[in-house]
């Protein structure tokens, strides 16, 4: 991974690719590379859909190796949704394949000429770029079927659907999974719109003839990987709950805690939760001949994905994630699995962020456009987005714009991005992260990692109320560092509880790259990423007043616990004091 | 035997669980009733009414709610008539970790955590009372069949909606607490005909 591939989409005669040494970005991967490159090369005040913005697609430091769970791909740009810096990441095959071809990043830069669309093909011999006019307007599923006919089923694809072509602020970028379905999405922040603005419909990556990346110290790497995989398999979350039920195993728990936002964040519990829980999905998927336990990329140990078949036993979509089930389910008052699965399929096909779309449909319901629980109406509304109708153009630009269009205060967003599946009034610590993350409201920005193992900023007393400020800070630092490795964030649970598994992760990095990283170095890496992101946002015009939740979360009490968000603005302003 | 629930062999459960399977798991997730003792600690209720071993409680039941409040102290939290006990294994995600008993991230949920002794009213010791119970995920899968073989109490209309009337083979029904039916699985520690126990088999 010592090469950066830059594709100038504004070149005379169509996009031109140029490979160059990794240079100043040596030693960076994933979010570290995307955020440092965006901070260094993109003017913060530029328009997100203009020629100065760039899309940076980067595998992690361990992607393309034999290390388990190392298939995460980071995609960075200035976000058309938040106006700030963005890193969205996805599973699937693309990170592994791109890394094996030796690319630390693929960068799309410039501004597409007219309405031309292009296909980029990358293999061990180089890069070819050709017109993708024949693919214009295609959904991701049909697009990938056509790619499969032409290039076979061993390639990996990174693509946009119609939403990306329409340059909608909720547009995602799809990555294909092991079955070559376009089901894994870099969803958040409108990264698909930026790829659309560059006129790139699909990047086809073919690693035929490319070898797996080799570690500097093969023996130590092999031993570290063994300990790593054993650590993941023996942990009850990564070895039990996630493979059996997927991420949606959370529905019952968050509902039980009264933190499951329902009907556009009006209450914290959904009567139909058990009908759409991970347990119920797993039972139905098994009955229909699907799979409740499945990986999204080769080398996945946790296997938290799945195959969801329709009533006739035919593939419909992957097992919907917890956030999708919440967004299109409880938050819209919908308790029907098949409706949620269909909405997931449509989002993947059009290339849309499921969190943003579920939140937006709920805002439309709250505004009276349709009723909460109207399953057919929700499907019709997402189809409007796919068609690019005037109404669809509003919905496809997210919850904040839709609330504004329909005169509604209750838009559950921070920095323009919709909140995910945890109500910040019941779980206030997550509200601190929603408010202060440079990404906008994001549940993955401050994930679970061994805070007190890393001792970032000292040991945190979990019983002190102020702990949530320190914890949010530490979690954001640790998450940024994990995002640089290409590791799936779900490793965090095993690392949280098992110090030897955290050590195995360090050993993987050190033996592969010939380094001697410690926990302190990991902390420094996380801080450097967050600092670059915060500096970019500041230069883009962000102020501390944007690190806030909407005021109605302080005003409206949430049932059943009747709680409001009570973390003060002064406390929020302390999160990035280090 | 409750007349309307007499067995007639309909709606047979297949090896994969059959048409009743998902609905049976639905009943356990949505909740059923058992008898507990007023004033009993939550730990004692889990031992005595649910039949859980200390090792299972400590090792597997990582996430516990009493009346929707995450519980850290199983000895301080007390059973009261009509209370709801919800039990789960360790959960993923930051918020999943936040909800665990004695989580290092407990401050994230400070506003909703169960307060232990301080918020309990004086309870009438040792008086039998109805307790509602929900089991989720691995706890449902691992412990649900045992409870079902011992008997769980449900509203008759919920049983009818879930597995039909007359009852499928392998179940019995008796009068339970007022308004409730005591449903039992006649298979030893399991659901008749089901390959796994209450959910997808662990890989």
The list of chain A residues with pLDDT below 70 reads 445-467, 496
In this structure, are strands A103-109 and A3-8 parallel, antiparallel, or unpaired? Answer: parallel
Contact A367, A404 (CB under 8 A): no
Cβ under 8 Å to A: B residues 124-163: 134, 136-138, 140-141
Tell me the C-alpha distance between A366 and A382, whole Å: 16
Nearest to A451 among B17, B104, B201 (CB): B104
Say if B32 is an interface residue toward chain A (CB within 8 Å).
no
Nearest to A286 among B68, B105, B200 (CB): B200
Q: How many CA atoms lie within 13 A of A87 on its CB side?
A: 34
Say if B60 is an interface residue toward chain A (CB within 8 Å).
yes
Q: What is the b/e burial string over A464-500, where b = at least 16 CB atoms within 10 angstroms of the residue's CB?
A: eeebbbbbbbbbbbbbbbbbbbbbbbbbbbbbbbbee
User: What residues contact A102, with CB distance under 8 A and at least 6 apart?
Assistant: A1, A2, A3, A210
Subunit contact B90:A236, Cβ cutoff 8 A: yes
Contact A570, A468 (CB under 8 A): no
Tell me the C-alpha distance between B132 and A516, whole Å: 54
Taking only Cα atoms into account, the Rg of chain B, rounded to an integer number of angstroms, comes to: 17
pLDDT of residue B117: 59
Place of tokens 């009337």: B165
Reading the block at residue A427, the tokens are 């779980």
In this structure, whether the domain defined by A3-205 belongs to CATH 3.40.50.720 is answered with no
Tell me the C-alpha distance between B156 and B174, whole Å: 10
pLDDT of residue A462: 39
pLDDT of residue B23: 66
Contact A31, A181 (CB under 8 A): no
Matching CATH number, A247-418, of 1.10.569.10, 1.10.1060.10, 1.10.150.450, 3.40.1710.10:
1.10.569.10
Nearest to A532 by CA among A457, A441, A439, A452: A439
d(CA A445, nearest CA chain B) in Å: 10
DSSP per-residue codes, A512-541: HHT----HHHHHHHHHHHHHHHHHHHHHTT
CATH topology of domain A428-572: 1.10.599
pLDDT of residue A446: 58
Chain A, nearest residue to B71 by Cα: A257
Residue pLDDT, tens place only, B104-149: 778 888 888 888 754 445 556 678 999 999 999 999 989 988 898 8
Q: In what order do the strands lie in the sheet with A291-294?
A: A291-294, A305-309, A315-318
Chain A, nearest residue to B196 by Cα: A283
Tell me the C-alpha distance between B179 and A320, whole Å: 38
* Chain B contact set for A245 (CB, 8 A): 137, 199-200
Candidates B70, B85, B94, partner chain A, best to mutate (most A CBs within 10 A):
B94
Tell me the C-alpha distance between A375 and A338, whole Å: 10
Q: What is the pLDDT along chain B (203 residues), one digit of tens a residue?
A: 455 555 544 333 332 333 455 567 888 999 999 999 999 999 999 999 999 999 999 999 999 999 999 999 999 999 999 999 999 998 887 788 889 898 877 888 888 888 875 444 555 667 899 999 999 999 998 998 889 889 999 999 999 988 888 888 888 999 999 999 999 988 765 665 554 434 443 33
Q: Locate the domains of chain A by residue range.
A: 3-205, 247-418, 428-572
DSSP reduced 3-state for A560: coil
* Chain A contact set for B30 (CB, 8 A): 274
Residue pLDDT, tens place only, A395-436: 999 999 999 999 999 999 999 999 999 999 998 888 988 999
Say if B70 is an interface residue toward chain A (CB within 8 Å).
yes
């Amino acid at each position: 991974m010592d090469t950066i591939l830059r594709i100038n989409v504004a070149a005379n005669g169509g996009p031109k690719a140029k490979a160059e040494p990794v240079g100043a970005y040596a030693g960076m991967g994933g979010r570290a590379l995307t955020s440092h490159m965006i901070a260094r090369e993109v003017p913060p005040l530029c328009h997100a859909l203009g020629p100065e913005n760039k899309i940076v697609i980067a595998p992690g430091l361990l992607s393309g190796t034999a290390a388990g769970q190392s298939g995460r791909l980071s995609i960075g740009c200035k976000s058309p949704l938040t106006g700030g810096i963005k890193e969205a990441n996805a599973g699937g095959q693309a990170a592994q394949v791109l890394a094996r071809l030796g690319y630390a990043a693929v960068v799309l830069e410039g501004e597409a000429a007219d309405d031309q669309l292009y296909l980029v093909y990358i293999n061990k011999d180089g890069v070819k770029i050709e017109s993708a006019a024949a693919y214009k307007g295609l959904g991701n599923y049909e697009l990938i079927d056509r790619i499969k006919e032409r290039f076979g089923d061993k390639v990996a694809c990174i693509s946009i659907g119609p939403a990306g072509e329409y340059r909608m602020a909720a547009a995602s970028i799809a990555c294909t999974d092991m079955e070559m379905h376009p089901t894994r999405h870099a969803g958040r922040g409108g990264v698909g719109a930026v790829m659309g603005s560059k006129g790139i419909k699909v990047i086809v990556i073919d690693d035929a003839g490319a070898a797996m990346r080799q570690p500097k110290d093969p023996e130590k790497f092999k031993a570290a990987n063994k300990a790593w995989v054993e650590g993941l398999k023996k942990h009850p979350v990564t070895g039990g709950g996630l493979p059996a039920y997927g991420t949606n195993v959370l529905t019952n728990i968050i509902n039980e805690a009264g933190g499951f936002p329902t009907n556009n964040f009006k209450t914290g519990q959904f009567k139909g939760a058990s009908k759409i829980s991970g347990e119920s999905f797993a039972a139905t998927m098994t009955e229909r001949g699907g799979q409740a336990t499945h990986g999204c990329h080769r080398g996945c140990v946790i296997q938290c994905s799945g195959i969801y078949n329709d009533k006739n036993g035919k593939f419909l979509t992957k097992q919907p994630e917890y956030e999708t089930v919440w967004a299109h389910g409880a938050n819209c008052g919908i308790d029907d699995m098949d409706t949620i699965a269909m909405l997931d399929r449509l989002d993947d096909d059009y290339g849309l962020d499921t969190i943003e779309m579920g939140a937006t449909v709920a805002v439309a319901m709250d505004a009276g456009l349709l009723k909460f629980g109207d399953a057919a109406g929700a499907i019709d509304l997402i189809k409007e987005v796919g068609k690019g109708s005037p109404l669809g153009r509003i919905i496809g630009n997210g919850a904040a714009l839709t609330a504004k269009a329909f005169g509604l205060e209750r838009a559950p967003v921070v920095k323009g991005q919709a909140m995910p599946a945890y109500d910040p009034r019941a779980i206030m610590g997550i509200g601190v992260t929603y408010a202060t993350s440079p990404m906008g409201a994001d549940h993955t920005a401050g994930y679970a990692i061994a805070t007190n193992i890393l001792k970032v900023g000292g040991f945190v007393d979990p019983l002190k109320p102020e702990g949530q400020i320190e914890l949010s800070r530490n979690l954001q630092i640790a998450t940024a560092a994990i995002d640089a490795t290409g590791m799936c964030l779900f490793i965090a649970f095993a690392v949280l509880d098992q110090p030897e598994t955290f050590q195995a992760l360090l050993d993987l990095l050190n033996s592969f790259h010939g380094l001697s990283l410690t926990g302190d170095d990991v902390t420094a890496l996380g801080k450097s990423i967050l600092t670059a992101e915060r500096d970019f946002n500041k230069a883009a015009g962000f102020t501390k007043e944007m690190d806030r939740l909407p005021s109605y979360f302080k005003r409206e009490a949430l049932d059943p616990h009747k709680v409001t968000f009570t973390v003060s603005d002064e406390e929020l302003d302390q999160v990035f004091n280090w | 035997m409750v007349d309307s629930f007499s067995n007639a062999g309909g709606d047979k459960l297949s090896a994969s669980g059959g048409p009743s399977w998902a609905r049976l798991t639905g009943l356990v997730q949505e909740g059923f009733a058992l008898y507990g003792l007023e004033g009993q600690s939550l730990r004692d209720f889990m031992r005595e009414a649910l039949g859980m071993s200390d090792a299972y409680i400590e090792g597997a039941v990582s996430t516990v709610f009493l009346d929707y409040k995450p519980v850290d102290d199983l000895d301080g939290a007390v059973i009261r008539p009509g209370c709801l006990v919800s039990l789960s294994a360790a959960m993923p995600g930051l918020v999943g970790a936040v909800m665990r008993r004695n989580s290092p991230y407990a401050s994230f949920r400070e506003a909703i955590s169960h307060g232990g002794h301080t918020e309990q009213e004086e309870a009438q010791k040792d008086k039998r009372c109805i307790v509602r119970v929900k089991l989720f995920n691995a706890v449902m899968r691992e412990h649900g069949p045992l409870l079902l073989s011992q008997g769980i109490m449900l509203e008759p209309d919920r049983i009818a909606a879930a597995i039909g009337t007359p009852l499928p083979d392998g179940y019995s029904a008796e009068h339970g607490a007022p308004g409730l039916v005591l449903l039992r699985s006649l298979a030893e520690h399991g659901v008749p005909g089901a390959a796994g126990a209450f959910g997808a088999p662990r890989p």
